[in-house]
């Protein structure tokens, strides 16, 4: 396939990733009314699928180009540094969670349901968590990201020379893990293994990597075919009608079929088709490209540019929100306070990080004449 041509940063990726981070924060707080209007209520997939697909896409554009330009050793070094950085954030979130939940339980008497077994196990529980052998709920996305990033160099080497083989092999692993749920990594807190089964979710990551190559071959967007756009919109419409919480919205039940929600842990086919349809609609559209450059999405775009920092901040804020809801209830005042404080903190932090980056990247002013 050759090396990837140099290209500008795709602002659609940052905007979509920023939106995914906002929705992850909202959805991580049970009983948050705002979650009635996030992606999982408008289709089969949710923000996690968006995040993983974009991880594969952006990894190819960033680290794939390093491999092409500087060789596999330089690429492995960059990927290794990224994996280590993600792990540091995961470890920090785990320790923060254990300390805060333990202190909150002592202060307010709330049982530590979220990480109770880890706290009860003491140092052994902490060690299991740090070794990624015990993944509490809502602290399981970054471990998946570490595994996928470690898998990326091999994926990219095969993808750039034999893309059909790379995607076919990835699809075969996804199918096997869907047919046999024992194909998973162990989780001390859950007999079923990792909630985000890396053997299935790697397929979505690989698809994102393949889309990045195709988009660069097509001027930065996916090839636009009207019949395929119509098909994608048709599937998205079906997914919306089938998934929408009509009763929670105070509307008659319009579900056309009696279907159980498709399995998220193993990335069920309906969820996979949903995120593929959504990504095709966005990345084949010139209108979406223009919308991503609009000023009113600047804060969301900044969140996407600093995704690791904002993800960690969102997880910490969501944990505080969960504990606050359990302690003081979920009335409208708590709902407004949680979402207003949480979302504004994430956006303002991202804008500050972007300001600092731009300031440090600015060229030095020329020296005054003598």
Summarize pLDDT for 103-120 with one digit per residue, the tens. Answer: 999 999 888 887 999 999
* Number of structural domains found in the chain: 1
Mean pLDDT to the nearest integer, 247-253 = 90
The pLDDT of residue 5 is above 70: no
Of the ranges 39-48, 181-190, 249-258, which one carries the lowest mean pLDDT score? 249-258
In a domain? residue 96: yes
pLDDT at 219: 87
Give this prediction's pTM.
Answer: 0.93
Q: Which residues pair with 190 in a beta bridge?
A: 187
pLDDT at 358: 86
In a domain? residue 348: yes
Of the ranges 17-26, 90-99, 145-154, 209-218, which one carries the lowest mean pLDDT score? 209-218
Output the six-digit token pair for 40: 């999982």
Q: For the chain, what is the mean pLDDT?
A: 93
Distance CA 206, CA 296 (A): 32
Long-range own/partner contacts, residues 342-346 (CB < 8 A, 24 or more apart):
342/25, 342/314, 342/317, 342/318, 343/22, 343/25, 343/26, 345/313, 345/317, 346/21, 346/22, 346/25, 346/303, 346/310, 346/313, 346/314, 346/317
Of the ranges 75-84, 110-119, 127-136, 312-321, which one carries the lowest mean pLDDT score? 110-119
pLDDT at 363: 61
Contact (CB, 8 A) for 60 and 166 = no
Mean pLDDT to the nearest integer, 246-267 = 92
Summarize pLDDT for 336-360 with one digit per residue, the tens. Answer: 999 999 999 999 999 999 999 888 8
The pLDDT of residue 1 is above 60: no
In a domain? residue 367: no
Mean pLDDT to the nearest integer, 145-152 = 97
Question: 190 — phi, psi (to 5°)?
Answer: -150, 120
In a domain? residue 2: no
pLDDT at 127: 96
pLDDT at 369: 56
Distance CA 333, CA 192 (A): 38
Mean pLDDT to the nearest integer, 229-241 = 97
Summarize pLDDT for 268-325 with one digit per residue, the tens. Answer: 999 999 999 999 999 999 888 889 988 889 999 999 999 999 999 999 999 999 999 9
The pLDDT of residue 370 is above 50: no
In a domain? residue 193: yes
Distance CA 44, CA 236 (A): 9
In a domain? residue 365: no
Distance CA 188, CA 86 (A): 21
Output the six-digit token pair for 50: 């968006």
Distance CA 132, CA 83 (A): 13
In a domain? residue 136: yes
Contact (CB, 8 A) for 271 and 277 = no
Q: Which residues pair with 113 in a beta bridge?
A: none
**Can you give the residue range of the structural domain that contains 344?**
11-353
Share of the chain above pLDDT 70, in %: 95
Summarize pLDDT for 17-57 with one digit per residue, the tens. Answer: 999 999 999 999 999 999 999 999 999 999 999 999 999 99
The owner of tokens 């008497």 is 109
Distance CA 358, CA 183 (A): 45
Mean pLDDT to the nearest integer, 145-156 = 96
Distance CA 72, CA 77 (A): 9
Contact (CB, 8 A) for 211 and 166 = no
In a domain? residue 364: no
- The helix/strand/coil state of 114 is coil
């Amino acid at each position: 396939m050759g090396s990837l041509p140099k290209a500008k940063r795709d602002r659609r990726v940052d905007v979509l990733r920023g939106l995914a981070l906002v929705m992850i924060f909202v959805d991580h707080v049970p009983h948050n009314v705002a979650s009635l209007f996030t992606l999982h209520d408008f289709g089969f997939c949710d923000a996690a699928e968006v995040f993983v697909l974009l991880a594969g896409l952006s990894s190819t554009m960033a680290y794939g180009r390093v491999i092409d330009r500087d060789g596999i050793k330089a690429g492995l070094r960059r990927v290794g540094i990224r994996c280590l950085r993600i792990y540091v954030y995961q470890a920090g979130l785990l320790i923060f969670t254990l300390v805060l939940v333990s202190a909150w339980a002592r202060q307010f008497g709330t049982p530590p349901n979220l990480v109770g077994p880890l706290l009860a196990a003491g140092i052994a529980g902490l060690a299991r968590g740090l070794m990624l052998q015990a993944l509490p709920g809502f602290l399981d996305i970054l471990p998946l990201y570490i595994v996928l990033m470690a898998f990326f160099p091999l994926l990219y080497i095969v993808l750039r020379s034999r893309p059909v083989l790379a995607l076919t092999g990835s699809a075969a692993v996804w199918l096997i893990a869907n047919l046999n749920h024992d194909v998973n990594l162990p989780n001390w807190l859950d007999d079923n293994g990792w909630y985000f089964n890396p053997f299935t979710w790697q397929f979505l990551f690989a698809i994102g990597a393949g889309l990045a190559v195709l988009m660069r071959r097509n001027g930065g967007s996916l090839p636009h075919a009207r019949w395929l756009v119509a098909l994608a919109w048709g599937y998205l419409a079906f997914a919306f009608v089938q998934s929408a919480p009509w009763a929670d919205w105070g509307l008659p039940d319009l579900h056309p079929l009696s279907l159980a929600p498709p399995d998220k842990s193993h990335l069920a086919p309906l969820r996979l088709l949903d995120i593929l349809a959504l990504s095709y609609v966005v990345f084949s559209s010139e209108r979406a490209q223009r919308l991503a450059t609009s000023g009113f999405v600047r804060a969301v775009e900044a969140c996407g540019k600093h995704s690791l920092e904002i993800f960690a901040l969102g997880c910490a804020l969501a944990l505080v929100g969960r504990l606050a809801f359990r302690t003081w209830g979920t009335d409208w005042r708590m709902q407004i306070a949680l979402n207003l404080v949480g979302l504004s903190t994430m956006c303002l932090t991202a804008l500050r990080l972007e300001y600092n980056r731009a300031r440090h990247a600015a060229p030095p002013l020329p020296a005054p004449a003598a």
